[in-house]
Amino acid sequence: MAGNFAIEHTQLNSRHRFLQTLANQPTDRPPVWMMRQAGRYMPEYRAIRAKHSFLQMVHTPELACEVTLQPVRRLGVDAAILFSDILTIPEAMGLIVEFPEGGPRLSPVVQSQADVDGLAPASAVERLDYVAQALRLCRAELNDTHALIGFSGAPFTLACYMVEGQGSKTFDSVKALMYTQPIVFTLLLDKLADWVIGYLRMQIDAGADAVQLFDSWAGELLADDYERYVLPSTLRIAEAIAQSGGKLMLFARNAGHLQHHVRRVPAAVIGLDQRIDLGVEAKIAKGQHKAVQGNLDPIELFAPVDHIRRRVAQMHAQVDGCAWIANLGHGITPRTPMVGVEAFLQAVHDLNGGPRP
């Protein structure tokens, strides 16, 4: 039996390794990829970006595919994540989305029920077909060798941008809407959840092996408010993806105080940022037959190679047999040195996954 197990391990490629981890099956080593792995830290990306605007790259399937595949070709990651942006949905719903220096700008902002009613319904999800086209191109290029991940912003995070009109440090507008017009706020999240479900299903149909839901601003909420207003739409999305046979990866940032609610979501993978105790969450996830993902601090990639290797070994020990996708605790930053990236990936490649009980 042990011999058969070893043979199975030697036959794993990157995609199979990723899929087996999603299914809580043993692997030769943990799969690895990095959030924002297609981006400005890579000279190949900067060369394309110098010729095209960010939105041109997002809207053009051939360009999006090329940028998506750059980390696979250069770095040896096990999974490619589609190059796109979470604000594709607000744009498809009818808002103007721009990316000037300093961050995204959306207009007009959503402030009332009339504004919510005026947003395009989820039946208009075909407006995002350019994303599906990019995924199909990537799937054809990757074939069966590497996993392909799609993604969407979560309803609350999308609502933050749509109500604030930009990024925020205080989120006073979106929180004020939640507290003063809870019905309108809930209607907005419900409408966004419909869009997210249709969008993620579109991506799965186009060849994505899994889809990640980014709730980047979830941590700005009190636990009670998250449970009351945000968790229901997240649960609905997760249940819809599970019912359609897809694999959902949930990443809620800065959400340590929300983890008891996040754990209730029937996602295949729970993504963890660097503030969360990987060992504690892995033990709980193992009991729930879920995988965990994360959670090296992205800035640790600036550290000496020996430090990075020690941290990877530490994380591997912390997960203690739980299905684990090695990743960062947030997106890689633009100034990250390639030597740190390569050290992180090589350290994971050198791990021995071994059978999990």
Instruction: Name the residues annotated as catalytic.
Output: 36, 40, 49, 85, 161
**Cβ count near 213 (within 10 Å):** 25
Whether 95 and 86 have beta carbons less than 8 Å apart is answered as: no
Question: Residues 6 or more apart from 70 whose CB is under 8 A from it?
Answer: 38, 42, 44, 45
| 212, β-bridge pairs | 151, 249
Smallest CA-to-CA distance from 325 within 38, 20, 9 is with 20
DSSP 166: B
Report the 3 state secondary structure along 11-37.
CCCHHHHHHHHHCCCCCCCCCECCCCC
Tokens representing 53 are 């605007």
Smallest CA-to-CA distance from 261 within 294, 234, 291 is with 234
Tokens representing 203 are 């991506």
- For the chain, the first-to-last Cα distance in angstroms comes to 14
**Cβ count near 258 (within 10 Å):** 21
Whether 291 and 24 have beta carbons less than 8 Å apart is answered as: yes
Kindly provide the residue ranges of all beta strands, DSSP E only, lying in 12-119, ordered along the sequence.
Answer: 79-81, 96-98, 105-107
